Amino acid sequence: MKRTAGKTAYIWYCRVKMLKDLVGIKESSKEDIELILSTASSFKDVLKRDIKKVPTLRGKTTVNLFFEPSTRTKTSFELAEKRLSTDVLNFSVPTSSVVKGESLYDTVKTIEAYGVDFIVIRHSSSGAPHFIARNVNASVINAGDGINEHPTQALLDAFTIIEKKGSLQGLTIAIVGDVFHSRVAKSNVYLLSRFDARIRLIGPPTLVPEMKGYNVEVLSDMDEGLKDADVVMMLRIQMERQGRGFFPTTQEYFRYWGLDMKRLKRAKKDALVMHPGPMNRGIEISSEVADSSQSAILDQVTNGIAVRMAVMYLLSREGENG
Amino acid sequence: MPGMTKELLNKKDIERILSRMAHEIIEKNKGTENLYIVGIQRGGVHLAKRICTRIKAIEGVDTPVGSLDISLYRDDLGMRKEHPVVRRTNIPWDLTDKKIVLVDDVLFTGRSIRAAMDALMDFGRPSQIQLAVLLDRGHRELPIRADYVGKNIPTSRGENIEVQLEEDGREDGVYLVLSGEDA
């Protein structure tokens, strides 16, 4: 262990070694996840102060590289970055259907030559962040890649659940909707299964993969799936990825897999309702549920900033760019 | 573990020192009015609480005590491969126009104190910040000095000082550790 001369060494003053990138929950250890979640609670305190900014990443530069439209994730990252005092560069790339490996490589190499320390990337191709992480020295944070993962969302969901329920262990968590296209659902399954939560995936059979190798129960009947659940996570129906006949109409979808008050009663009395946003009110969730006291949807938004600050703090290391 | 350690202070010594410091704090501030005590995580927090207990015993008043984590204000974050764990900061008051006694276990380069003062300023504009440390081991890199010093201990840079406190599950004691590493 390298000891810096600047501080007396305390045995209990533990230091933590972090990874270079956060590309997915799949690639992160349980210890990494626990560390991020515990660090996030300190950052949540910062967000409650009058002065919500800390000088931690002064002099560092972050690029938000979004190849897919995003409002809330991008805003959340940008706020987290600003509150950590890094300089922020928004590199918006017009939506294009296919970005070839090589041009993505060139884009990222160009950005790296600007001397950035963090690259936050969202891309429609699964695995794009992994590809970039292998090719740059900057820390890469996945803000959603294709139908693969959205790790910071799963982290903020876990943080929110722990905040409300005390822990993840032993909870029954129902994830409802288009699991197949949902990177949020996948990251959540990877994370929750590490913490011994009981996971139920509920939705039309065309949209719910079995997820072999993970301890999940797949159900198409929502009433059965919600029974005694501690947490109900609703997923957004991704209209932009439909049109291949996964389900007949949105009205019919709501009738079978939408969450309204009557259905929510099948879950535990104090069940938590979550949604990663943006919501399609009346399609996957009724307004009454979304605005109810059981809804943690706005807590998720607030916690997202704290969790992203924690991730960036923990990934920051000695100047990769000299 | 490093081979050589030498006891500098035992439990009794620490108790006497903290009692003296509590008296000094009260004397210098002519009481405890408008006085807030803030410990730096972690050792400083334990010491701050103990000083408060002693002030209460002497003056019969409760002095507010808070905790401060300075990880986010350090100037050497980018120079490390490892990060300090961010611990809780608990300062539920506006510090504007308050007298603050900042408490830490060891005063060394002064960089932690610089960070702590920056952090405090984010909670308001204190009328005064005083510094109390259990040990001053020298080697300052910044123009910072303590108002209350438990004990001055000359050290070389390659040595380390280890403060063990009951609150962390060990017997009170301060040890000089010869790490064998050159600074």
Interatomic CA distance for residues A210 and A308, integer angstroms? 30
Residue A315 is which amino acid?
A: L
Candidates A8, A86, A307: best to mutate against B (most CBs of B within 10 A) is A8
Tell me the average pLDDT across A14-22: 68
Q: Check if the interface score ipTM surpasses 0.90.
A: no
Angle at A215 between CA A212 and CA A219, to 5 degrees: 80
Angle at A183 between CA A182 and CA A188, to 5 degrees: 100
Nearest CA to A149 out of A167, A122, A114, A176 is that of A122
Ranges in chain B, pLDDT < 50: 1-2, 182-183
Predicted pLDDT at A299 = 96
Give the HSE-up count for residue A220: Cα atoms under 13 Å, Cβ half-sphere.
9
pLDDT above 80 for A162: yes
Tell me the average pLDDT across A303-315: 96
Q: pLDDT band at A58, cuts 50/70/90?
A: very high
Distances in Å between the alpha carbon of B17 and those of B20, B30, B44, B133? 5, 20, 14, 10
Interatomic CA distance for residues B94 and B81, integer angstroms? 35
Q: Chain B contacts of A85, Cβ < 8 Å?
A: none
Contact call for B78 and A5, based on CB within 8 A = no
Predicted pLDDT at A1 = 33
Interatomic CA distance for residues A278 and A149, integer angstroms? 17
Q: Which residue of A has its CA nearest to B95?
A: A50
Helix A183-194 / helix A151-165 crossing angle, nearest 10 deg: 50
Nearest CA to A321 out of A170, A101, A165, A109 is that of A109
Interatomic CA distance for residues B3 and A236, integer angstroms? 60
For residue B183, what are its two tokens? Answer: 């600074």
Which domains are seen in chain A, by residue range? 30-149+303-315 (3.40.50.1370), 151-297 (3.40.50.1370)
Distances in Å between the alpha carbon of A43 and those of A90, A159, A306, B71? 23, 12, 5, 11
CATH architecture of B12-77+84-156: 3-Layer(aba) Sandwich (3.40)
Predicted pLDDT at B64 = 97
Q: Domain spans of chain B?
A: 12-77+84-156
Over residues A64-122, the pLDDT tens digits come to: 999 888 889 999 999 999 999 999 999 877 654 445 555 788 889 989 999 999 999 99
CA of B58 to nearest chain A CA: how many angstroms apart? 31
Q: pLDDT band at A47, cuts 50/70/90?
A: very high
Contact call for B109 and A42, based on CB within 8 A = no
Beta-bridge partner residues of B178: B4, B159
Nearest CA to A25 out of A186, A199, A182, A168 is that of A186
Predicted pLDDT at A226 = 97
Predicted pLDDT at A12 = 32
Distances in Å between the alpha carbon of A292 and those of A225, B82, B158? 21, 43, 60
For residue B120, what are its two tokens? Answer: 């405090």
Task: Lowest mean pLDDT of A85-94, A135-144, A289-298, B42-51, name the range.
Answer: A85-94
Residue A204 is which amino acid?
A: P
Cβ pair A35, A313 in contact under 8 A: no
Closest partner residue to A15 (CB to CB) among B78, B83, B94 is: B83
Please report the DSSP string for B8-76 in residue order. Answer: EEEHHHHHHHHHHHHHHHHHHTTS-TTEEEEEETTHHHHHHHHHHHHHHHHH--PPPEEEE--GGG-S-
Beta strands in A146-276 (DSSP E): 172-176, 198-202, 216-219, 231-234, 272-274
Beta-bridge partner residues of B83: A16
